[in-house]
Amino acid sequence: MFGENVLNFVQQKGWGMLIIWLFPLLIVLPMQNAAMKNKSTALPWFILYSAMMGFLFSFTLVVYTASDVTLAFVSSAGMFFGLSIYGRVTKYNLSGMGRAMIGMLMGIIIAGGINFFLGSTMVVFLTSVISVVIFSGLIAWDNQKIELVYRQNNGYISQGWAISMALSLYLDFINLFITLLRLIGFTRKNQD
């Protein structure tokens, strides 16, 4: 019953999914800053944010089939694992690429906002493909940052910094998963 109600809401009101996913965007940046400043609240905020994301996923996942969700999750996990290893072992400095990915991410967010009013499925598809590249680059870069900071501080990392980086990796994975899920759903819809 709950799943059917959510599915009806999302399908009938195109802005429903936007509202559902706008809330976490509004609180993640202040939360990440708070994690760096106040170590004692960093972990509870991270746990609360993770629980909230789990709840929000129930609204999103109901739109897709179980096989689509499984394929997107396994693909995301495999990519995350491989890119994490690459980010840690590569001799190349990925900071320039990471900054470029952040700039591209801002462009994708703006394009997504404009496309909300235009409703072009081709723009959704293209921004999703580009987003896979962006979040793949961010996964490698964030892992390299963790490795570099760990080495520079002789194995000591503050709790606030650790939570902040855990949040970055969490967001990278979640966004890669959502983007792959959108692409898989888009392809399946066009095949049917």
For residue 166, which of 69, 49, 60, 65 has the smallest C-alpha distance?
49
Say how many domains are in the chain: 1
More confident: 187 or 14 = 187
pLDDT of residue 157: 78
Residue 96: pLDDT band (50, 70, 90) is: very high
Pick from 92, 178, 180: nearest CA to 143: 92
Residue 169 scores a pLDDT above 90: yes
Whole-number mean pLDDT of the chain? Answer: 83
Distance, CA of 32 to CA of 158 (rounded, Å) = 14
DSSP class of 1: -
pLDDT at 53: 84
Phi, psi of 68, rounded to the nearest 5 degrees: -65, -45
Predicted pLDDT of residue 105: 92
Whether the per-residue pLDDT at 9 is higher than 60: the answer is no
- Six-digit token string for 102: 């952040």
pLDDT at residue 16, rounded to an integer: 60
Summarize the confidence of residues 4-32 as an average pLDDT.
63
| One-letter identity of residue 126 | L
Residue 179 one-letter amino acid: T
With a pLDDT cut of 90, the percent of the chain lying above it is: 41
Mean pLDDT for 85-90 is 94
Radius of gyration of the chain (CA): 18
Structural domain span for residue 61: 2-191
pLDDT at 14 (0 to 100) = 56
